[in-house]
Amino acid sequence: MPSTIEILQSLVNGVGVGLIYGLVGIGFCVIYNASGIVNFAQGVFVMLGGMFCQVLMSQLGLPIILAIAITVPLVALAGMAMELAIVRPMLHRGATLFAIILATLAAQIMIERITLLGFGDRPRTFPDFTPGGPLRVGEVAVGYQLFWILGCGALLVVALWLFFNRTRTGRALRACSQNREAAQLLGIPVARMMLVAFALSAGLGAIAGVLVTPTQYTAYNVGTPFGVSGFIAAIIGGFGRAGGALAGGLLLGVLQALAIVALGAGFKNVAALSVLLVVLMLFPNGLFAGFSLGARVHSK
Amino acid sequence: MTSRVTTFTEPAALRWQSVSPAAGAAMLAVLGLLSSDYVTTVLGFAFIYAIFCTGLNFFMGYTGQASFGQSAFAAIGGYGSAILCTDLGWDPVLALFATMALSGVAAVIVGYPTLRLRGHYLAMATFALGLIVYEITIEWTSLTQGYMGYAGIPPLGIVGFELPTVKHQLVALVVLALFGVAVANRLRRSRFGRALAAIAGSEPAALALGIDVARYKLIAFVIAAIYASAAGSLFAHFVGFISPEVFGVTMVVQSFTMLYLGGIGTVWGPMIGAVIVSVLPEALRGLKEMQDIAYSAILILVLIFVPRGLAGLSSLFARFRRNTEPL
């Protein structure tokens, strides 16, 4: 039987990872709202974020702030490239939904393999943003990176809320999510909005990747678990709501942490995927669909 | 969910066209028998994948659904056959049928709740199923030996009579693949197959016609699972070794590349795609480590530019000929 300390410790870790899942989940929602498609390659942005940042720091010796400042726009560009090269031509040709999903999945495999060829299969990591720690609360150790994750997560949620409610672009994006044809008639450049959505979503993924890498590691194949977990977070939160996705991510992170204590680390993905199936089957509209949490991006 | 691909019927007068691919497959087999063992092995993989894709085509092409987790059933077949034949000393054919039945039962249990989902949810739920089985094959080491893989699986055979060389096995695989395609074709032209086409066209319309949509979808899913399981078992016997990586995400992407390249929703598309995609990397040997990149790139290009695959191209030519004939 695991001790109370062990459970508390894993809960603390779960909150950190859960926030990351939440950020990835928001990325799913942003693209889904703008275009009506689910980007199965979402996890790859998390991988690229951690990877680019580590390479910039270790090979060019850049300070972490500068590395992050270069990484996030770079990954956002990758997101835009994906929209321009794959999603847009398929939408133009009236491709079926499953074909588009499949194309994004193929894009994920392609980016992963290119990363493998370019950077090798060695797991990489870099130190916490601030050295020192962990903070000890009784027996429970809280790494300083967790505070960074919490702080940046909160900041991002506020920034997203402001973006979607106070800026012209953000409102235009919301208009697209409610009714694309009506938005087009109002003179909103819907195609450009999709580009914005992909850039935003990829950028969010990159930030999540940079934040989470010090607490674990990044390698060419970490994308799929993050992508699937982010999707689960988005679904628990009732697909399309940023706040819901964040709450869903926290719930999933904590559940996963408890599963690690109970079943061992190997089965944490099995646990998360089983949660996904149960949620999909029992609550097809998400656990939090009934009430609105934070920034409500999408209305059905 | 509508799909234009599936509402595509050939007139009976074109029967010779549906026989020529079978002749092509037989010719390939003869070619394989006359070449080195290496070529034979490559062709063997192609026909195993042809069986897998024919099943997938049943569910995706004919019924218009999506499963991103068929690799799960291939894993059940592969590991089932490996364990039954190596540890318990079962006859390979017996193990093949036993694992096919097991996969069918698993597909009923899993499909019953899952197939109520549509669109993205269906895609992600089936993807999750594939990932769950993949993780289990890695983690449940006492059953599957984890990353180490399962070695020493006996070759295909029947009641003690083994097929000793790859060439013998290739013949068996070609016969089995052709049999699989014939069964799929027969089912497709039946009342059942027409019901599936109706579901692919429009679910509400099919429902209005009195088709039990949920049941038919489930049956199509089970059929696809049984094909996938058979392919997994045959792979285990053909190679003699399996590991979790065999039934990973790359298997999903590779089989979709074959299916879309050959032409989804057509009878021979899966087999044509499987042969082309299997043989192509051997022709471009230098691309060895770029293989997965090439698969993904081909798949993306096919999805964008020729979503109906090579079979779609041929009907394009047919239309072109018809248009020019009166002149």
Query: What is the domain-level CATH number for residue B191?
Result: 1.10.3470
Domain assignment present for residue B9? The answer is: no
Domain housing B108: 15-324
Domain assignment present for residue B140? The answer is: yes
Portion 18-37 of A in contact with B at CB < 8 A: 37
- Confidence class for position A293, pLDDT limits 50, 70, 90: very low
Would you call A38 an interface residue with chain B, using a CB distance cutoff of 8 Å? yes
The total number of structural domains that make up chain B: 1
**Per-residue model confidence as pLDDT tens digits over B160-199:** 677 777 788 888 888 889 899 889 888 888 999 899 999 9
Half-sphere exposure of B149 (CA within 13 A, CB side): 13
CB contact under 8 A, B139 and A266: yes
Of A135-139, A234-238, B60-64, least confident by mean pLDDT is: A135-139
Nearest chain B residue to A91, by CA: B304
Domain assignment present for residue B82? The answer is: yes
Domains and CATH numbers, chain A: 4-282 (1.10.3470)
State both tokens at B210: 């009195």
Q: Which of A86, A109, A276 to mutate to test the interface with B (most CBs of B within 10 A)?
A: A109
**Per-residue model confidence as pLDDT tens digits over B283-322:** 766 666 777 788 788 888 888 888 877 776 666 555 555 5
- Confidence class for position B52, pLDDT limits 50, 70, 90: very high
Domain assignment present for residue B291? The answer is: yes
Say which of A106, A273, A281 has its CB closest to residue B296: A106
Domain assignment present for residue B6? The answer is: no
Would you call A284 an interface residue with chain B, using a CB distance cutoff of 8 Å? yes
Domain assignment present for residue B27? The answer is: yes
How many residues are present in chain B?
Answer: 327
Would you call A114 an interface residue with chain B, using a CB distance cutoff of 8 Å? yes
What's chain B's average pLDDT? 82
The contacts of residue B265 (CB under 8 Å, 6+ apart) are B3, B5, B6, B8, B57, B61, B62, B200, B308
| Beta strands B161-162; A140-142: pairing state | unpaired
CA distance A103 to chain B (A): 5
Would you call B313 an interface residue with chain A, using a CB distance cutoff of 8 Å? no
Distance of CA B80 to the CA centre of its chain: 18
Question: Is the ipTM here above 0.95?
Answer: no
CA distance B90 to chain A (A): 30
Domain assignment present for residue B33? The answer is: yes
DSSP label at residue B244: G
Domain assignment present for residue B4? The answer is: no
